[in-house]
A and B are shown apart, each in its own frame.
Chain A
Amino acid sequence: MDTALIHQPLSALTGLLAERRVSSVEMMAAFIARTKAVEPRLHAFNSFDEPAALAAARASDERRTLGRILGPLDGIPIGIKDAIAVAGAPLTCSSKMLANFVSPYDATVIERLRAGGAIPWGRLNLDEFAMGSSTENSANGVTLNPWDLTRVAGGSSGGSAAAVAASQAPAALGSDTGGSIRQPAAFCGLVGVKPTYGTVSRYGLAAFASSLDQIGPLTRNVDDAALLLGVIAGHDPRDSTSLARPAPDFPVEMVARRGPWKLGVPAEYFREGLDPAVAAAVRKAIDFYSAQGGEIREVSLPVAAEYAIAAYYIIATAECSSNLARYDGIRYGHRTQNATDAIDLYARSRAEGFGDEVKRRILLGTYVLSSGYYDAYYLRAQKLRTLIRQDYLRALDGLDALVTPTTPTPAFRPGEKTADPLSMYLADIFTVGVNLAGLPAVSLPCGFTAAGLPVGLQLIGRHFEEPRLFAVARSYEQAHAWHKMRPTVASSE
């Protein structure tokens, strides 16, 4: 096995395949072997289909022999969060509710990956129905952090982040409702992208909160993120909230934008609760931009800083309470053995099928939408959402991006925050506002703590300005080597 192969970014793998220095089957076999080797320690995967992956790799090799490759990612495996539908594969959302559910159809992003020849690889662990920040809410157990196996990989896309960090896949798709791509990317030393709302089709993503959910890439570097986003983005007539404009050519648009950059630093995000090591790494990154001739401006996000968490947990739970009503044990999914009538069937199936955090959010969401409470909670949260969006756009005025830490702390330990849900919710404080505002954001590695845990830098841009964000991120990445570091699990073979 070529051990170097599995640690390569997409851009390198593309070249190796093009030059016929490796076949897709060899590459797939290497990732399968790697997955099997480290999986018992990590638990990034809920499941994977080895024969299907190898068959897809063989088909890719045949295309390449005929000179008919479908796109730059032809023959390359891409890890898939187990909340994204892949035809013929389990779609569990890490829930007992869907433990035996197999999707009969492909999500739009999977269709697009296949259309480009890429191989959907594995069903990656997550917090149940993407609700959580550590994968501790997975019915299948927690995914551990490849950098420190006593810590979580983050969540909800923790399996996607761990799999890429541990070289079980060269890149992966996650979904981000309040930070679920960026936070695990930060915890695992990866680049994670939450695109502008509507950039990537949600068709086939099991919905958590429809107005906030976006699928996005987790990759080893910024070039890979631009490449992978370009494959999955674009208008989809099956998603009414998909943008009715063609996706830009991200890699090309990215290199067309050059610094020095004008960056805003939100004052509210550098106060109490921020881990000193995280603060230091982010400050250093800001100093780098400044030293490159950039303009650094202190800005303020008064509404977002104060109310984003509250507004988020009202809107997200309201939508989730309705979105998850379909899991009732009638047409598919877990059904209780002991029902006396239809209502009892619902109650028992859902009580048995859902975990505590999902139940908590369904209860919260049902409450905030209830007659007599709607105006006080849901309607006010929607008004706040408008103000939060204005907050960000005002702060971004005349700037290329806002710079913040992705998370207040590096990866924490399992059990550290589970006793107090609020402390877990506060771990999303820097990320949820971006989803409420529909803005694009990127997390990229910007250093390590003394204990060797990765730290993430978050860049937030205006709507549709992913190429600019990528350019800002790339100028930092090219001057640093954090993204080339490999975690301990990788060297302990």
Chain B
Amino acid sequence: MSYEPIIGLEVHVQLATASKMFASAACGSGAPPNTLTDPVVLALPGALPVLNKAALDAVIRTGLLLGCRINPVCRWDRKNYFYPDSPKNYQISQYDQPVCLGGEVEIELPGPTPAVMGEHRRIPLTRIHLEEDVGKLTHGAGDSLIDFNRAGTPLMEIVTEPALRSPDEAFAFLTALRTLLVCAGISDCDMEKGQMRCDANISIRPVGETKLGTKVELKNLNSISYVRAGIAKEIARQLAVVAAGGALTQETRLYDGESGRSAAMRSKEMAHDYRYFPDPDLLPVHIDEAWQADLRASLPERPFDRQRRFIADLSLAYSACAVLIRDRALADFFEETVHAGTAPQAAANWTTNDLLRELTAASLPLRESKVTPAHIAGLAALVKQGVVSSSQARDVFSEMFASGETAAVVVERKGLRQSTDTTQLAAWCDAALAAHAGSVAQIRAGNPKAINSIKGAVMKLSAGKANPRLVDEILRQRLGI
């Protein structure tokens, strides 16, 4: 019998807000332990939560980007459980009236080669709600330390329908979601920093069966690669159990990315009655049309919409699109370069190859680049006019990047302007022909490729300034080929 895997994801995303979800203490990482706190974060007697509107705005924006229904009234509930990283011993969350319902995430599966776009699918969502993050425990020998800096950071939970069918789809889902959320400034989605966390619900069922099988929740998937690998391992484990005639049990398993293995959590650790009830310290929030309209105006173009537009309107190669849409600022830079008069593919090459290479080498963010779209447009024009060669243009780009001068200034300063003086060119050509009699003989004997070594000699004589197209013309004329 053949089986198919059914996968649902629960993704937690820390929102990039300045302050915490219900407190005025700052959000952030890297600060000394327990410094990003206040009476509310530490749950001192008498402290009360007040909603951070920026956090709710971020979730509504996410919902609008993903085509969710925005609940006209969302509500706050207390999820009660004791754990030392939870200052109140309850988490403020949303139980039955979350901010967003439904919606979908568009994903792109890998193509046959990196240059070919893969299939797109839409993964339906169940809901998106807002809750608060907990602190961090560090267990040492004999004692445990708690840092509440992370406690109270706004955390958005995105829950998919059991609609994913492969580890690759899960990988593509998280990649697409991360690209979208980073693009919209909603989260930095750095999984290593815990800004994006994912749990997977995995089951298998015979192909053709419509009922869902016994579900296993896989936790501790700390990177997008671990998500893919962990899910693949879990599917294999479940198939092996069934193949051996065993039965699957509903359980929560912790994945260890290092060893690639998972182990079941003790059932005691998951037997929770959270005693949800509406938080009496907070009022329900009415989200009206005007509020949504304001936020809608702040939404960026969705990355895949942008990709479709680049391909359709600019005839851009998929491989360049794929790089550009991953980074909103880079794609904006690219578009400005096109608007400044550069051919789209040339603009894409300059931004995705040369600009990215220089930025990486200099460890600079794009916003600190001295090269602007106008710089690139100027350089591309010089190449097109034949003022500099393609290979010289690379050097000009590096000079522009270092100094912030325009291409024209660099070309003049470095004396890189190509020589189109035919008298001078003819003199260089004649000298080269005279010095390479052997090559001339080879050409005459029927080997036209030998012309290249003569061209090389001309370029050498001209210190690289000779216009290659004119040199080619003169040599062929002299050689009569």
Residues of chain A having any CB pair with chain B under 8 Å? 83-85, 91, 93, 98, 101, 103-105, 107, 202-207, 209-211, 237-241, 318-319, 321-322, 325-326, 328, 330-332, 342-343, 346, 366, 369-371, 374, 378
Interface window among B86-94, B186-194, B203-211, B347-355: B86-94
Contact A332-B44, Cβ < 8 Å, known A325-B89, A326-B87, A371-B273: yes
CA distance A325 to B82 in the complex (A): 8
A378–B281 touching, CB < 8 Å: no
- Please tell me if the beta carbons of A103 and B275 are within 8 angstroms of each other in the complex: no
A342 adjacent to B280 (CB under 8 Å): no
12 A–B pairs (Cβ distance < 8 Å), ordered by A? A93-B45, A202-B48, A209-B280, A239-B48, A240-B48, A322-B80, A326-B45, A326-B89, A328-B84, A331-B42, A370-B273, A371-B273
A374 to B273, CA, bound (A): 11
Interface of A is mostly: loop
Residue pair B50, A241 in contact (C-beta under 8 Å) = no
Residues from chain A with a CB closer than 8 A to the CB of B42 are: 331-332
Q: In the complex, which residue of chain A has the Cβ closest to the Cβ of B278?
A: A382
B450 at the interface (CB under 8 A from A): no
Contact of A325 among B88, B144, B281 (CB under 8 A): B88
- For A95, the closest partner residue in chain B by CB is B45
In contact, B146 and A330 (Cβ under 8 angstroms): yes
Instruction: Please name all residues of chain B whose beta carbon is closer than 8 Å to the beta carbon of A103 when the two chains form the complex.
Output: 44-46
Interface string of B268-289 (1 = CB under 8 A from A): 0000010101001111000000
Contacts of A211 in B (CB 8 A): 280
A105–B44 CB distance below 8 A: yes
CB of B280 within 8 A of CB of A331, answer no
Residue-by-residue, is B416-444 near A (CB-CB < 8 Å gives 1, otherwise 0)?
Answer: 00000000000000000000000000000
Given contacts A240-B51, A330-B146, A346-B82, contact A322 B44 (CB under 8 A): no
In the bound complex, what is the Cα–Cα distance between A104 and B44 (angstroms)?
9
Q: Name the A residues within 8 Å of B67 (CB-CB).
A: none
Distance of A325 Cα from B148 Cα, bound (Å): 17
B78 at the interface (CB under 8 A from A): yes
Are the CB atoms of A241 and B277 closer together than 8 Å? no
By Cβ-Cβ distance, the 9 closest A-B pairs, closest first, are A325-B89, A211-B280, A206-B45, A210-B280, A369-B275, A204-B46, A326-B43, A85-B46, A371-B273
In the complex, what's the smallest C-beta–C-beta distance from B303 to chain A, in angstroms? 36
B273 in contact with A241 (CB, 8 Å): no
Chain A CB within 8 A of B47 CB: yes
Residues of the B chain whose Cβ atoms lie less than 8 Å from the Cβ of A241: 280-281, 283
CA distance A205 to B42 in the complex (A): 15
Are A240 and B89 in contact, CB atoms less than 8 angstroms apart? no
Chain A residue at minimum C-beta to C-beta distance from B283: A240
A344 to B82, CA, bound (A): 11
What is the minimal beta-carbon distance from B266 to any residue of chain A, in angstroms? 13
A328–B82 contact, CB under 8 A?
A: yes
Verify if B39 is at the interface (C-beta below 8 Å from A).
yes
- Tell me, rounded to whole Å, the shortest Cβ–Cβ distance linking B256 to chain A: 23
Cβ of A331 and Cβ of B48 under 8 Å apart?
A: no
B201 to nearest A CB, angstroms? 21
Given contacts A98-B45, A210-B280, contact A330 B50 (CB under 8 A): no
Q: Are A206 and B90 in contact (CB under 8 A)?
A: no
Q: How far is the CA of A135 from the CA of B275 in the complex (A)?
A: 30
Q: Which residues of A contact B185 (CB under 8 A)?
A: none
User: Shortest distance in angstroms between B457's beta carbon and chain A's nearest beta carbon?
Assistant: 80
- Chain B neighbourhood of A330, CB < 8 A: 84, 146
**How distant is the Cα of A203 from the Cα of B39 in the complex, in angstroms?**
11
Q: Are A240 and B46 in contact (CB under 8 A)?
A: no
Determine if B44 and A240 form an interchain contact, defined as CB atoms under 8 angstroms apart.
no
Query: Shortest distance in angstroms between B110's beta carbon and chain A's nearest beta carbon?
Result: 44
Interface flag for B49 (CB, 8 Å): yes
Distance from A70 Cβ to chain B, minimum over Cβ atoms (Å): 24
Compute how far the CA of A205 lies from the CA of B281 in the bound complex, rounded to whole angstroms: 12
Beyond the given pairs A322-B90, A331-B43, 7 more chain A to chain B contacts, judged by CB atoms under 8 angstroms and listed by A's residue number, are A83-B45, A93-B45, A202-B46, A328-B82, A331-B42, A343-B82, A369-B277
Q: Which residues of A contact B89 (CB under 8 A)?
A: 325-326, 328
A220 CA / B27 CA spacing, docked (Å): 48
- The listed residue (A85, A209, A328) touching B45 by CB distance below 8 A is A85
Across-interface contacts of B88 in A (CB, < 8 A)? 325-326
State in angstroms the CA–CA spacing of A85 and B78 once bound together.
Answer: 24
Report yes or no: A371 in contact with B87, Cβ–Cβ below 8 A.
no
Given contacts A210-B281, A241-B281, A369-B275, contact A107 B46 (CB under 8 A): yes
- A342–B84 contact, CB under 8 A? yes
Compute how far the CA of A370 lies from the CA of B275 in the bound complex, rounded to whole angstroms: 5
